[in-house]
A and B are shown apart, each in its own frame.
Chain A
Amino acid sequence: MVTKDEIMKIAILSKLSVGEDEIDKLTEDMGEIISFAYTINKAADIESDFDNINNLSNVLREDEVVPSMEREQILKNAKDSDDGCFMVKNIMK
């Protein structure tokens, strides 16, 4: 059974915060979903793991410089930008 502590740990990894008022219900729901997911362990393994659907293989191309999107365009969707850069708070003191 999944515990509150485990859910809190997963939330940190997911960069999500879980409020005190949500944790009980969330732990219960997640417990149910995770037990449901665990049922696959009743099945026997097959020899080779799944790779991809249509037997695709990597196709490599030449590393050529091609025109990309305009910087100004890209920054249009950012809430904060300055001097052609995305703005965030200081990450170093």
Chain B
Amino acid sequence: MNESKIAQLHKGLVNKEFSCMELTEKYIEAINKDNEALNAYVTVTPETAVETARKVDEKIAGGKEIGLLEGIPMTLKDNISTNGIRTTCCSKILEDYTPIYDATVWDILKKQNAILLGKTNMDEFAMGSSCENSYFGGAKNPHDLGHVAGGSSCGVASAVGGNIAVYGLGSDTGGSIRQPASFCGIVGMKPTYGAVSRFGLIAYASSLDQIGPITTSVEDTAIVFDAIAQYDKMDSTSQGRKGAPVCDSLKNDIKGMKIGIAKEYFEGIRDDVRKSVEDAIKVYQTLGAEIVYFDLPSLKYALPVYYIIACAEASSNLGRYDGIRYGYKAVDYKDVNDMVKKTRSTGFGEEVKRRILLGTYVLSSGYYDAYYKKAQNLRGKIVQDFRNVFESCDVILAPTVPMTAFENGHAVSDPVETYQTDICTVPVNICGLPAVSVPCGFDSDGLPIGMQLIGNSFEEARILNAAWQYENAADKYKAAGFGVKY
């Protein structure tokens, strides 16, 4: 049984097969070589990486024990605040913004001497599925540079898939961890809402946003999740991990585990994606899992409900960008109102402005009842329907994305058609549930296909157990993350 990348590197450090400095320098060199093609990093931080590596090596030389994530080179999506390191959300409006505090997740990892290699690309304010909404241009897919890495956590997925970071943290509001992980053939998990602190995550839609790991194996996802899922008094919705570390139950037998399949998840899915997920169902049957079929009719409303709620929250969250306290400020203006308007109009990209407008529309008087209020009501219905499903099954298996990675520059110009690609990922955010995407095949062009395992609230241990068993049984689809294909 192969060890995960983090476990292997940890062992290498402890056994002094290589020093942390050597490991760090290897990754810095890899970034120098491959980042131009991938456009994964928007800011690189070699100085802090080397400084931390030195500390870790001193600790090892002094015979001190090191933690699993200590000395492991990693990255953060550029909407996770890093004290003293530029955090842009890949927007012109925050191009030169440097936070004066750390996000809790980074505070946790920094204390464990994680090696931060830099901050990675994303769709502006995490709004998008192709990374083409990034102010810095899109990140590319390491499997095929002619294709996108997905979105919105495209840079993390591109870096981890292209092996210019061991792992990274992304954020998932409607699929932004799982979709790029699926496109890049790696593993990404959106934890239960509240399991991981959102303090210091620059807000898009606060009732949907969640930080989670992107890695090359299920075990690495479990290791990172166990580290970051902690209660945080700075986040009023924080609850932390419930129960034992998820790593403890990763390899449990899944005989008798009830895996639910909803036909609604398979409507409008490309044939090769459907086939790969159906093959995965067969793998689960051979592992002794019981397949349970059920209907989830409210799923068809998930997408409009998601866009209404997400945009409503975004229009409120993004109200703070006025050019006064931080970020870009327009230069030529008449008065304060004109300054704010010009700052926002030239500082935000097209998609961000469109979502702010939609959000303002659905919250405005005269439209509130038919849109926002109705969407909240339906959100309750979707939550209820998922709760009922989990009474008769342990996990739900579904495709992550209806297709494989889009070609560069091929993101559909029709906004609604683009939104449709999020159809499989948004229900989990609406309900606050955990879900992990794992690779389960390739299309005829060699682009990865992913599937997701969805669990009940705070049941990360169960979905990761099911994901690990699949990964172990279907070895040929094991996450790549071993470099860029030029």
**CB-CB under 8 A for A11 and B357, given A40-B304, A89-B335:** yes
Query: Least Cβ distance of A52 to chain B in Å?
Result: 7
Given contacts A37-B308, A50-B383, A54-B432, contact A10 B361 (CB under 8 A): yes
**Residues in chain B near residue A10, CB distance under 8 A:** 357, 360-361, 364
User: CB-CB < 8 A to B344: which residues of A?
Assistant: 14-16
Closest to B340 in A: A15
Q: How far is the CA of A76 from the CA of B101 in the complex (A)?
A: 13
Of residues 44 through 61 on chain A, the ones whose CB sits less than 8 Å from some CB of chain B are: 45-46, 48-54, 56, 59
Instruction: Chain B residues near A33: list those with CB within 8 A.
Output: 307, 354, 358, 415-416, 419
Q: Would you call A65 an interface residue if the criterion is a C-beta within 8 Å of the partner chain's C-beta atoms?
A: no
Contact status of A48 and B354, CB under 8 A, knowing A33-B415, A91-B336: no
B100 and A69 contact, CB distance less than 8 A: yes
- B381→A38 contact, CB < 8 A: no
Tally of B interface residues using CB under 8 Å: 66
Task: Let me know if B23 is at the binding interface, CB within 8 A.
Answer: no
Tally of A-B residue pairs with Cβ under 8 A?
149
Distance in angstroms from A64 CB to nearest chain B CB is 13
Distance from A8 Cβ to chain B, minimum over Cβ atoms (Å):
11
Contact of B357 (CB < 8 Å), options: A30, A40, A77, A78:
A30
In angstroms, Cα B311 to Cα A8, docked, is: 18
Chain A nearest CB: distance from B49 CB in Å? Answer: 24
Quick one: closest A residue to B100, CB to CB? A73
Interface residues on A, range: 35 or more
Q: Does A20 contact B (CB under 8 A)?
A: no
For the complex, give the distance between the alpha carbons of A88 and B361 in Å.
29
Of A6, A40, A78, A90, the contact of B301 (CB 8 Å cutoff): A40
Residues of B with C-beta under 8 A to A78: 324-326
- Which residues of A lie under 8 Å from residue B381 when comparing CB positions? 43, 46
State whether B377 touches A45 (Cβ < 8 A): yes
Tell me, in angstroms, the Cα distance from A11 to B304 when the chains sit together.
21
Min CB gap A46→B, angstroms:
5
- In the bound assembly, the distance between CA atoms of A13 and B357 in angstroms comes to 9
- CB-contact partner of B304 in A37, A51, A69, under 8 A: A37
- Which one of A13, A16, A50 lies within 8 Å of B364 (CB-CB)? A13
Contacts of B333 in A (CB 8 A): 89
Q: Determine whether the beta carbon of A50 is less than 8 Å from that of B416.
A: no
**Separation of A72 and B40 alpha carbons in the complex (Å):** 33
Partner of B325, one of A14, A17, A77: A77
Contact residues in B for A15 (Cβ distance below 8 Å): 319, 322, 337, 340-341, 344
Among residues 74 to 90 in chain A, which have CB atoms less than 8 Å away from a CB atom of chain B?
Answer: 74, 76-80, 86, 88-90
**CB pair A32 B415 closer than 8 Å:** yes
Contact with A along B328-355 (1 / 0, CB 8 A): 0100010111011110110010000110
Closest residue of chain A to B319 (Cβ to Cβ) is A15
> Taking the nearest CB of chain B, how far is it from the CB of A50, in angstroms?
4
Contact of A50 with B100 at beta-carbon distance under 8 Å, contacts A15-B341, A29-B415, A88-B324 already known:
no
Q: Which residues of A contact B340 (CB under 8 A)?
A: 15
A91-B336 Cα distance, complex, nearest whole Å: 7
B431 touches which of A16, A53, A86 (Cβ 8 Å): A53
Q: Is B323 an interface residue (CB 8 A)?
A: yes
A7 to B250, CA, bound (A): 51
Q: Mark B372-386, 1 if CB is under 8 A from A, else 0.
A: 011111111101100
| Cβ–Cβ contact A49 & B377, under 8 A | yes
- By a CB distance below 8 angstroms, the chain B residues around A39 are 301, 304
Q: Is A50 in contact with B379, judged by CB distance below 8 angstroms?
A: yes
The answer for the CA separation of A29 and B419 in the assembled complex, in Å, is 12
Taken together as a complex, chains A and B put the C-alpha atoms of A50 and B414 apart, in Å, by 31
> Could you tell me if A40 and B194 are in contact, using CB atoms closer than 8 angstroms?
no
Instruction: Find A40's partner among B308, B322, B336, B358 (CB 8 Å cutoff).
Output: B308
In the complex, the answer to whether A16 meets B345 with C-beta atoms within 8 Å is yes
- Complex Cα distance, B100 from A78, in Å, reads 12
B193 interfacial contact with A, CB 8 Å: yes
Contact with B along A11-34 (1 / 0, CB 8 A): 101111100000000100110111
Query: Can you offer 5 A-B residue contacts whose CB atoms are under 8 A?
Result: A37-B375, A54-B193, A56-B194, A77-B326, A78-B325
Chain B residues near A (Cβ < 8 Å) = 97-98, 100-101, 192-194, 207, 236-237, 239, 298, 301, 304-305, 307-308, 315, 319, 322-327, 329, 333, 335-337, 339-342, 344-345, 348, 353-354, 356-358, 360-362, 364, 370-371, 373-381, 383-384, 414-416, 419, 431-432, 457
5 pairs of A and B residues whose beta carbons are closest in the complex: A53-B432, A50-B380, A77-B326, A50-B379, A79-B329
